[in-house]
Each structure stands twice: as C-alpha cells, then as structure tokens.
Chain A
C-alpha cells in the first residue's frame, strides 16, 4: 500500500491548503491577480476557511472540515478495504455537503425560505465559492476516487478512477448544473421565489406556437418557423453534400483537390460571415440587387432578410460539413458490392439505386441530422439576416438583451430549442444504431467504385459546378468587401477599414495598439490559446477512458458527453448566465466563464477524434506497457500520446478555431473587459459598419490559417517509419 499512501498524502496536503492557505470565498477582481495576498489574513472576505469558521463565525463550514478530517483518518488504517470504504463515505458526504451549503446559503443567509422556517434564520450569508472551497470539493471527489481504487475498482488504478470522477464532476458542474439552473430559472421570479406564471404564459404564447401560416392568415410561431427552416437546411445541405461527395469520388472531376479544400472552410469561417457576404451581394444595397436594378429595372426588395436568406446562408455554411460526412459514407460503400451487383446484370443506374444508395442511407440520415441540429443552433446568420423574422436562437438573445428583459421567456425558448435538438440527436442515435453497413472492414477492399449513371452524373455536375462558383464568389466577397469604401454607394478601393481596425502607432517610443479591433482581438487570442490545450486534454482523456476502460455507467457517461454537443450554443449561453452569476459559483464577466464554455462545448469533438484515433491503436500496447511496470498515467504519456499526435493536432486546432469563430454562446458571456472578436463584429454589423466587420472577419480567417499551420508544425507527426497498418484517418466520419 506504499503507493496508496503517497497519493493520499498529496491529497491531504491539498486539503489542508484549501483550509489554510487559500481564500475560501471568491475574490473580487480575480484570483489570479493575486491582489488578495495583501488582505489575506485581515480582510473578512479574503481569509482562509479555517478563519471563516473560527473568526468570522461561518460555523457551517466546520462540518466540511470535520468530513475532511474523517477522510484524513483513513490514512491511519492499513486494511485497504476498510480504508477505501471510509474514503468513499467521507468523500461522498463531503461533496454532498459542499453542494448543499453552497446552494442553500447565499449572500444573506438561507437561500430557500423552507430552511428559514425549519432551522431558523441565519445571521450571515456567504459569497460565492473561491479557491479554497473549490479545491476542497476537488479533494472530496478524489477521496471517493482513491477510496474506490483502494477497493480494487478499475483494477485498482487510481489514475483512471480519479480521471473518471473528476470528469464526471466537471461535466456535472459545467453542463448539467447550468442546464438545470435554466429550468429552475424559468419558473422563478427575480427574487428567486417559485412563480411559474411566466413559464406557463410563455409556454402558451401564440408567438411561439401559432400555426397561422397553415390554418389561417399570418405568420407561424417562432418554434415552427425554426423547425421548418431546420428541416429545409438539413435537406438542402444533405443533397448538396451528396452531390459533392459523388463528384469527388465517382467522377473524373478535374478539381477534386479544390473540393476537398471546401471542407476546411466552415471550420475557419465565423458563422455570420456567410450571411454578411450574402448581404453584400443580395441585400438592398448589394451588388447583384443594384445590378439587376440598373440593367432590368427590378426594384430592390428585402427578400433576403428572412427565412429565405437564412436558408441560403445556412445551406452555404453546412454543405461542406455534409460533404465531409458523406464523402466517408460514399467511399465506405464497398466496391465489391457494386462489382457484385454489376456481375449480376444490373446496369449502373440500378446498381446505384438498389445497392449504393441504400447502403448510404444511414450516412445520409446522419448528414441530415447534423444539418438540422446546426441550423437549429445557428445564431450568427439569423442575427445578420433575420430582420424581424427571428428564429428561436435569436429570440432567446433578444429576450435577454432586448428592450424587455424577460429571463423566464428566454429560458422557455431555450427549453423549446433544446427539446428540438435533443430529439433530433436521439432520433439520430436510434436510427443509426445497428444500421451502419457502410463500414470499413480494415481488410483492403480491392476493386473500383462503379461510375455514376450518365443522367445522374450530368445532374450532379449541374448542381455542383454552379454552387462551387457561388461559394467562390461568396468568399471572394468576404475578402473583397474589406477593401471597398461603402457598399452600394461608393465602390472605390480603400485600406481605411483595415487601418481603423488594426492600426498601430508608436507613441513615446512604445507600441500603441490604436486600432479598434485590437482589444477584442487579443482577448480572443488569449482565451482561444488557453482553452485549446485544455479542451484537447479533457477531450483526449475522456476518449482514453471511453475506449480503454470499462466501468459501470460508461455508456451513460459517453452518451451524456455526446449529447452536450447537441445543446445549442445559445442555450449554453443563457444557462451559463443563469447559473454562474450567483453563488455558489460566480463567474460571469470573467475570462474563466468563456474558457469553461469553450472547453465544455468543444470537448465532444476532441472526444470523437480521440476515440477514432485511439481505436486504431492496438490495445495490447497499453497492456504491454502496464505489464512493464508503467502505471496508466505513464502509459498514456509515453505510449498513447506519442501515437496520437495527429489526433492531438486536430483537437488543438479545432478547439482553437472554434473558440475564435463561435458566437452563439459567447455573445451572452462577454463583458466590457473580456469582449471577443465575434461579438464585437456582430456589434459592428448591427451598427451598419459592414466594412470594418468584413475586414475584421477576413483578418480572423487569415490568422486562423496561420495558427493552424503553426500548430501542425509544432506538434509534428508520429515518428513511425512504417506502413500504418490501419488508415491513419478514419474514413467514416460521424460528425455529431
């Protein structure tokens, strides 16, 4: 039990530190500013836990201390079974108590009236948890983990049990707690008392649920409009994606490389940029609108602003994702199936219709649902193009920042949106389970894919070529738009927008970042660079646990994680501000909330990539390492991570880029101090400053391409001079 003692000792030291050496409660102005050091033992807000109990009169914390000491007592027990049991008990009680006291006691005493009546009122309250309280909670979680490890759970591997426990804890705090808070918030009044009126009223609101466009005159409710849009966007992007995939794999199209390049675009394009470019083309002052007016006298109209415009923008945005998914699916159809069909006297058309297409069905469903969920979650394009015809995600936003602030309405809309996306997610899971025929066998299938039937290949070209040109024009607009003085009025070229956004000057011998964009730009970079490695680490650790470890509740664990991917950013945003602006955890207005948001929003992609990559590393390598006296932490570091380099790069790049381009959650969480590039750009668009907005967006795209390249060089490749026995990248991409 040598090893068990050592790790427990570390944990006990951590626990002591949490009581003795750290401010127990949240430090105004930020922990990492370290300004608390000066008032640490004197100022009543900053003193450590031990003084909170004995000097400040927050007696309820004594129970937490007692539970910690109970667990510490385990150090004296030698029998691993008994010690494990004690640790588990102390840890569980500890974490429960920390949660309870955090929720039940707020600024001014009991948070719930029921406590007042049953325990009498409390003399003083408490601010949000700080470094000490959080560290102690973590210690309790690890008590549980080490306790289980001592009792032989997970083959006694403390690292694995610890990782699982901490991950579950984090996911609970950063995903389930906020979502739960949102539900609670929807039936609460401003002062926190139970008042379901707002909830009931909003749930029945005809502006959400009206079916007037079908049965009467007028517009349908926003819920139906959003659903309708999502169905159309899903269908549109799937069809286009399939056409692209067929062209890329089954024809002799000369620009296949270019097609593949397309798949990178949606990743590096901030979501509202497409909408912006469309405005420049087809808006009231757009080039095409003006041109048509000039040539044919067609009156400029506002047709773009509304569902049509959003739909076009979304199909443009999501087609590459569908393409990415479907190219794997189309390639995954085993050529020998098609060859078999052809030897059975089926012509190309029949082969495609009766064999290839049915085999692709699950993939098509997958692509459709991805488009559907993405459309539901899309916030940028509707914000730019929606006008007054909003969708759920924008309505949520306006319920929070609009003229009438109505948190209950925002919560209700968010719940509606969440039900839609989660239903789609569940449908996808059900539909896909057991239906994945188009899988790669690993044994190289020789043979060639059947060519497309003539008529089909003509129509596929007919779709793909114009759409590609359209995409090129749209992206051309993004670059070009930054150099044009005023759209619709003055098309002379200028560098003015770039200068206003990104100028620098020397003042008093120091560099001054005078451009208006710098502030948000550096914040964005900082936050993206902090959250990228965290996301990758959390994601890959989770993947390791999912692929390599077996434990009760694993599929639930995996499912919950993947489900969080189907939670729209807007919902995350609204739930974060509802959960984290009051004790026990207060983070709004800080950089921390942005980092947390990015880590937990983007983690599922890291998990997915990690799972795909890790499934290709033979399990016996880990086992060999374990029998060679390396514990699982060392195995992970020395054997698995080096072999996972491509997946690490991908996770890093993805989370970095998503942190830069995402808007939906971010827009709720930014503050004056921590403004992000995307929300700043949206602000510019709202003020009609398209030039700078476009200039800033193109700058972001350039920066992302640069950083991606750097990441790639930094992480490097696997040092294996060998033929990879399995293909290095999974051919079958399952996105959501």
Chain B
C-alpha cells in the first residue's frame, strides 16, 4: 500500500434525476490528485448521490465523469478504479475481517495467497494485525470501521470514497478516527472524496471543501477560505455560526471597504462588494461587547448563558439580533444591560444578497 498512484476526478455538467426529481442539477467539479476533498452540506443535498455516481453505483442522467483522465461515465462500478467506505461499513457478515479485506483483491484477480498477504498487510496498516480471524460482529464499531477502510485501501484505488465514515462512531472516537484517516491519506498520498454533514469534521480533515446545497455547489475552496470568506449567508451560517445583518458600504479604499452598520463604521476586505446596501456576516466570537461605552452600535442583552469557558449572549440591536460568544467569563452581563457593540478585525465578511 505504498505505491498508490492518485488519480484526479472531474465532473462535467453532471445532472442526476430520480424520476421527476432532480437530485443534482449541473455539477462541475475538479479534484486534484492526492488531495482530500470533502463534500459538505445538509442532509438531502446530494452528497451521497454525487459520491455514488463517482463509484458507479448510480449513473448520471447527463454529463460526464472522468477518473484519472479516463471517461468512466458508462463504466459499471466493478470496472472503476475507485473504492468506497460505506456509511454502514457494509462488512460482509459471513466473512471474517481478513476475508473481507481479501475479497476485493480476489475479485481483481489476485491469487488466493497474494490476496491473503496483501490483506494481512492492509489490516496491519490500520492497526488490526491480529484481528483477521474475527467476524464483523465480534469487532467494535471503531475496529469495523478500520476494517472497512483497509478493505477499500488494499485495492490501491486511484480514488478512495468515504461516505460519512464516522457517523456510526461515538463522539470521542470520531475525533481520533478522523485524524487517523487524514494521517493515512497523507502518508499514502491517495486521492480521497469524503462526505460529511459535520463542518467541524470537514474543517479538520480537508484540503478542500465543497459545500453543497439543494443539488448544487454553494461554494468550494480551502477550509480557511470557506470560513473566512463565505460567499453567502448559507455558507457563513453552515461553516460555523454567523450573524447576518444588513449594512451599508460607504466607499472602497484600495481592497478594503468601509461599511456602516447601524452607525458603527468598520473596515474589511471589500471582495466583490459594490457601494450601497449589502449583507454582513459576523462570527459570534468577533463581536465585542462594551457595557460602558456609549458609541457606535447600541443594544440590549436579551439572554445570557454561562458555559464555563465562555458566555453566550443574545443582544438586541436596531439592525437585528446578534448571537455573541464572549470569552471574558469573569464579567458576566445580565439581561436588560445596555451595551455597545464593536467588531474585531477577523471573522467578518461581506456576502452576496
């Protein structure tokens, strides 16, 4: 498992209908070899469908799909050079771990012995060297998951597909396994397409994130780019919470824009904004509350909740309510307190519409 040749993935104007329902509208997407790309989005947005089309388990209604430069649109699943880790793992319950891992190798025409050796190797890679004789039912959830990964990886596919691989693990294990997967991907250098609906997970493992909404790409980019420069309220809110409020772009100075939010002036990267009415996304942690000052944007605390390492507030202002996370826990403000709001330099973005 050291000689993987990662492949690229290209979707060209792919559309997928289920009967009269369109699950994927017009998907065009390029994935560079050797990167881990996450498909992120709320449930039902078409992530699994996209992944299954890549695996050959669904065929697109129109458009073309390329893997490693080769057009695979019409190729059945078993003739594609990809393999998949299923959400439910889909380990064959009547075969032990080793047989499960060897299965794909035997299907690909390896001799029984070679398949067994490679399978043992694969199990070792995921740290299950002496668990080969166990049936899936005799393994813990985390171990099953690793068998599923090993089973997919031993085929040395150009692309590894993972459909919500952590969703059946408990919260504590999730953090550990996602690190392991990322570590494995970087060590072996394969291309991976990773589906999840959890933005934390996506931020933690990805080279690039593709956020989907209603069968379309809402935004694609590096984790940092998506977090810092969301193009829409949907992205801003989906990639960590955000307050979206109306603002007024007063002028552009260089690549900065000067905005006015209910009387508070602020400077931030202008991006594609135009002078005039605009929308501003503000991370809850980027709002500074000052109970003493009496300038800029004034507001009143509606609710407050003390959560140990931070305090959460809901603040009513003339431009709308703000959800604020404040780390100065030694100063807890009670409801009805009048405050004035200010913004930090990071965590604000001008967004479309």
A→B interface (CB under 8 Å) = 3, 80, 152, 155-157, 618, 620-621, 623-632, 634, 638-639, 642-643, 718-723
For residue A636, give the distance in angstroms from its CB to the closest CB of chain B. Answer: 12
Closest-by-CB residue of B relative to A154 is B76
Contacts of A3 in B (CB 8 A): 79
Contact B83 A722 (CB under 8 A): no
Contacts of B46 in A (CB 8 A): none
Contact of B86 among A623, A629, A634, A720 (CB under 8 A): A623
Contacts of A156 in B (CB 8 A): 74-76
The CA of A632 and the CA of B57, in the complex, are separated in Å by 12
Contacts of A625 in B (CB 8 A): 92, 103, 107
Contact of B90 among A624, A631, A720 (CB under 8 A): A624
Contacts of B76 in A (CB 8 A): 155-157, 626, 631
The CA of A357 and the CA of B205, in the complex, are separated in Å by 56
Closest-by-CB residue of B relative to A619 is B90
Closest-by-CB residue of A relative to B151 is A628
Contact A642 B78 (CB under 8 A): no
The CA of A3 and the CA of B152, in the complex, are separated in Å by 23
For residue B47, give the distance in angstroms from its CB to the closest CB of chain A. Answer: 16
Contacts of B57 in A (CB 8 A): 155, 623, 626-627
Closest-by-CB residue of A relative to B81 is A629
**A-contacting residues, B184-222, CB 8 Å:** none
Against A, the Cβ 8 Å flags (1 = close, 0 = not) of B77-108 are: 11110111011101111100000000110011
Closest-by-CB residue of B relative to A624 is B90
Contact B59 A630 (CB under 8 A): no
Contact of A628 among B75, B107, B136, B161 (CB under 8 A): B107
The 3 A-B pairs of least Cβ separation, nearest first, read A722-B137, A628-B104, A624-B90
The yes or no answer to B56 lying at the interface (CB within 8 A) is yes
Contact B108 A627 (CB under 8 A): no
The yes or no answer to B302 lying at the interface (CB within 8 A) is no
For residue B351, give the distance in angstroms from its CB to the closest CB of chain A. Answer: 38
The yes or no answer to B290 lying at the interface (CB within 8 A) is no
The CA of A618 and the CA of B94, in the complex, are separated in Å by 13
Contact B104 A630 (CB under 8 A): yes
Contacts of B268 in A (CB 8 A): none
Contact A627 B138 (CB under 8 A): no
Contact B86 A624 (CB under 8 A): yes
Contact B87 A722 (CB under 8 A): no
- Greatest chain A CB density within 10 A among B52, B80, B103 is at B103
Contact B59 A155 (CB under 8 A): yes
Contact B92 A621 (CB under 8 A): yes
Contacts of A618 in B (CB 8 A): 88, 90
Against A, the Cβ 8 Å flags (1 = close, 0 = not) of B275-317 are: 0000000000000000000000000000000000000000000
Contact A155 B77 (CB under 8 A): yes
Contact A620 B88 (CB under 8 A): yes
Closest-by-CB residue of A relative to B57 is A623
Contact A720 B103 (CB under 8 A): no
The CA of A723 and the CA of B80, in the complex, are separated in Å by 34
Q: A620-B90, A643-B93, A722-B93 are in contact. Are A627 and B137 (CB under 8 A)?
A: no
The CA of A722 and the CA of B82, in the complex, are separated in Å by 30
The yes or no answer to B155 lying at the interface (CB within 8 A) is yes
Name 6 interchain pairs, CB-CB below 8 A, sorted by A: A155-B58, A627-B82, A631-B76, A631-B107, A721-B135, A721-B137
The CA of A24 and the CA of B84, in the complex, are separated in Å by 49
Contact B103 A638 (CB under 8 A): yes
Contacts of B104 in A (CB 8 A): 627-630
Counting residue pairs across A and B whose Cβ atoms lie within 8 Å, the total is 100
Closest-by-CB residue of B relative to A622 is B90
Contact B103 A623 (CB under 8 A): no
Contacts of A631 in B (CB 8 A): 76, 78, 107
The yes or no answer to B257 lying at the interface (CB within 8 A) is no
Contact B77 A642 (CB under 8 A): no
Contact B103 A626 (CB under 8 A): no
Contact A629 B155 (CB under 8 A): yes
The CA of A624 and the CA of B92, in the complex, are separated in Å by 9
Contact A627 B83 (CB under 8 A): yes
- Could you list 5 further interchain pairs (A-B, Cβ under 8 angstroms) beyond the known A155-B59, A623-B90? A155-B56, A624-B91, A625-B103, A630-B107, A722-B138
Contacts of A627 in B (CB 8 A): 55-57, 77-78, 80, 82-84, 104, 152, 161
For residue B188, give the distance in angstroms from its CB to the closest CB of chain A. Answer: 18
Against A, the Cβ 8 Å flags (1 = close, 0 = not) of B151-167 are: 11001000001000000
Contact of B103 among A157, A620, A628, A721 (CB under 8 A): A628
The CA of A642 and the CA of B103, in the complex, are separated in Å by 14
Contact A629 B108 (CB under 8 A): yes
Contact A626 B74 (CB under 8 A): no
The CA of A152 and the CA of B72, in the complex, are separated in Å by 11
Contacts of B135 in A (CB 8 A): 720-722
Closest-by-CB residue of B relative to A3 is B79
Contact A620 B86 (CB under 8 A): yes
Closest-by-CB residue of B relative to A639 is B92
For residue A1, give the distance in angstroms from its CB to the closest CB of chain B. Answer: 10
**A-contacting residues, B119-165, CB 8 Å:** 135-138, 151-152, 155, 161
Closest-by-CB residue of B relative to A720 is B93
Contact A720 B56 (CB under 8 A): no
Closest-by-CB residue of B relative to A158 is B76
Closest-by-CB residue of B relative to A722 is B137
Contacts of B151 in A (CB 8 A): 624, 628
Contacts of B93 in A (CB 8 A): 621, 643, 720, 722
Against A, the Cβ 8 Å flags (1 = close, 0 = not) of B250-287 are: 00000000000000000000000000000000000000
For residue A301, give the distance in angstroms from its CB to the closest CB of chain B. Answer: 62
- Greatest chain A CB density within 10 A among B59, B77, B138 is at B77
Contact B107 A629 (CB under 8 A): yes
Contacts of A621 in B (CB 8 A): 90, 92-93
Q: A3-B79, A627-B83, A723-B137 are in contact. Are A643 and B90 (CB under 8 A)?
A: no
Closest-by-CB residue of A relative to B88 is A620
Contacts of A718 in B (CB 8 A): 94
The CA of A180 and the CA of B267, in the complex, are separated in Å by 84
For residue B30, give the distance in angstroms from its CB to the closest CB of chain A. Answer: 22
Closest-by-CB residue of A relative to B101 is A628
For residue A335, give the distance in angstroms from its CB to the closest CB of chain B. Answer: 28
- Greatest chain A CB density within 10 A among B74, B90, B151, B161 is at B90
Contacts of A643 in B (CB 8 A): 93-94
For residue A728, give the distance in angstroms from its CB to the closest CB of chain B. Answer: 12
For residue B293, give the distance in angstroms from its CB to the closest CB of chain A. Answer: 57
Contacts of B79 in A (CB 8 A): 3, 629
The CA of A30 and the CA of B342, in the complex, are separated in Å by 97
For residue A523, give the distance in angstroms from its CB to the closest CB of chain B. Answer: 38
Contact A630 B78 (CB under 8 A): yes
The CA of A98 and the CA of B163, in the complex, are separated in Å by 49
Contacts of B161 in A (CB 8 A): 627
Contacts of A630 in B (CB 8 A): 78, 103-104, 107
For residue B161, give the distance in angstroms from its CB to the closest CB of chain A. Answer: 8
- Greatest chain B CB density within 10 A among A624, A632, A718, A720 is at A624
For residue B167, give the distance in angstroms from its CB to the closest CB of chain A. Answer: 13
For residue B221, give the distance in angstroms from its CB to the closest CB of chain A. Answer: 28
For residue B347, give the distance in angstroms from its CB to the closest CB of chain A. Answer: 40
Contacts of A80 in B (CB 8 A): 74
Closest-by-CB residue of A relative to B55 is A627
For residue A30, give the distance in angstroms from its CB to the closest CB of chain B. Answer: 41
Contact of B83 among A628, A632, A639 (CB under 8 A): A628
- Greatest chain B CB density within 10 A among A3, A152, A627 is at A627
Closest-by-CB residue of B relative to A634 is B107
Closest-by-CB residue of B relative to A152 is B74
Contacts of A632 in B (CB 8 A): 78
The CA of A3 and the CA of B109, in the complex, are separated in Å by 14
The CA of A720 and the CA of B135, in the complex, are separated in Å by 8
Contact of B77 among A626, A719, A720 (CB under 8 A): A626
Contacts of B84 in A (CB 8 A): 623-624, 627
The CA of A632 and the CA of B138, in the complex, are separated in Å by 28
Contacts of B86 in A (CB 8 A): 620, 623-624
For residue B81, give the distance in angstroms from its CB to the closest CB of chain A. Answer: 9
The CA of A718 and the CA of B135, in the complex, are separated in Å by 13
